Amino acid sequence: VAFSPPGYAFIEFETNDQALAAIKGMNQKMCLGCKITVQTSKKSGYQGKLEWDAETKAKQKGNRIYIGNILEKVNVGQVNAAYEEFGTIVDISVNKEGFAFIEFELEESAARAVEETNGTEIFGGLLDVEITSHKGNDL
């Protein structure tokens, strides 16, 4: 287990099944008074892709999305231009470590953005896009 940056922990599992079980069992659960987000690391060189079952994907609801695997030079304007077609954007946060958060006005906009851009090549890499509860403002 490694803690870097503050507020994040990275845990390596021996198998994909163990990692998927941890994600299914702990994502969006309360831990020490905080709701935690559990997901695969984007910077670890992880070559595999965990498969979510239909039941897990159906439970993901919200109007905020996480976008991982973007280049460090990508800015808020570029993210806005790429995602404004999905609906009204309330807030965007871009981190120089290769990820961003977008808050849409409607859950339907977020869901469509995930469906249409997850796994596509934008911003120089194959994106990992998913619904999240993380606000992104405290990056």
Type of residue numbered 17: D
Q: What separation in angstroms does the CA of 111 have from each of 2, 4, 35, 60?
A: 31, 30, 21, 9
Tell me the C-alpha distance between 63 and 109, whole Å.
7
Tell me the C-alpha distance between 55 and 45, whole Å.
28
Tens-digit pLDDT string for the chain (139 aa)? 544 455 677 787 777 778 777 887 887 788 877 778 787 765 444 444 555 544 454 456 789 999 988 888 899 999 999 999 999 999 999 988 888 999 999 999 999 999 999 888 888 788 889 898 766 554 4
β-sheet bridge partners, residue 91: 103
The predicted model scores a pTM of 0.59
Q: What is the largest CA-CA distance in the chain?
A: 41
| pLDDT value, residue 46 | 45
